Amino acid sequence: MRRSRLNLFKATSMTISLLGIIMVLVTIGIGGYLLFQALSSTISTDVGSGTSYDKIAALKADYNSLNSQYAETKISIEKMNNKNATTSYDLAELELISAQTDIADAESAITAKKSSDEINSRIEQAQKQLVVANQALKDLQAEYL
């Protein structure tokens, strides 16, 4: 009877040890999987936002170019000393300011890690507003210069 109890104790002890080892291995496996998923999600998000940052950089470059054209036009308009031309310039400049605001809005969406659809929507709006500001400048120059 003693031997059977001793064998039963050994068998139970071995079973508990094996179950413990299996549970530790499963826990490590699950933790590794979750870590891998989190890292791959972060990497794919960073890659997606990288293209968005490139688009924002291009928008900023276009804005800076357009802003310098506005500055040159402002000098010419001020030399004319024409109230209507000044008023038209101010209205056109509001379009440029709106473009700057839209670019900043798109950039803040990237920083806030909004969805890619939201970011793309804001970038498209900024692009459209730059086109409007560019057209407003061309119309102003055609009319007064």
Per-residue pLDDT at 43: 66
Rounded CA gap, 116 and 110, in Å?
Answer: 8
Give pLDDT, residue 113: 82
pLDDT at 145 over 80: no
Cα angle, residue 97 at apex, residues 139 and 135 outer, rounded to 5°: 20
> Could you list the residue range(s) of the whole structural domain that residue 23 is in?
2-144
**How many domains is the chain partitioned into structurally?**
1
Longest dimension (CA), the chain: 116
pLDDT score for 67: 93
The one-character DSSP state at 1 is -
Chain-centre distance for alpha carbon 121: 11
Other CB atoms within a 10 A radius of the CB of residue 35 amount to 10
Across residues 70-89, what is the average pLDDT?
A: 90
